[in-house]
Amino acid sequence: MFRLLFISFIVYIGVNLVENMIHYNIGKYSNKQTHFDIPTKRDWCKIILVMVFFALIQGSLTCLLDNRCN
């Protein structure tokens, strides 16, 4: 069960890091031509905290549903 949680957590972080970078830049330049900037340290902290929170939720739900289906 821990293995499934860990794999789900890592996949979520990897995929969503790219997605969040895209959303960050779209939001930052929503009324201008879009550029690709790296977030500030403060924005990185916010992004990572939100990602970790939802990665834990996703991993937990994946394990729960896997246990119920098997």
Average pLDDT, integer, range 17-26: 86
Average pLDDT, integer, range 17-33: 84
Q: What is the DSSP string of 16-51?
A: HHHHHHHHHHHHHTTTS-----PPPHHHHHHHHHHH
Burial of 28 (0-12, 13-18, 19+ CB in 10 A): middle
What's the angle, vertex CA 12, arms to CA 64 and CA 8, rounded to 5?
40
Mean residue pLDDT across the chain: 84
Query: Which of 4 and 45 is assigned the larger pLDDT?
Result: 45
Average pLDDT, integer, range 38-52: 89
Q: What is the model's pTM?
A: 0.68
The domain segmentation of the chain, as residue ranges, is 2-69
Which residue from 10, 34, 14, 40 is spatially nearest to 22, judged by alpha carbons?
34
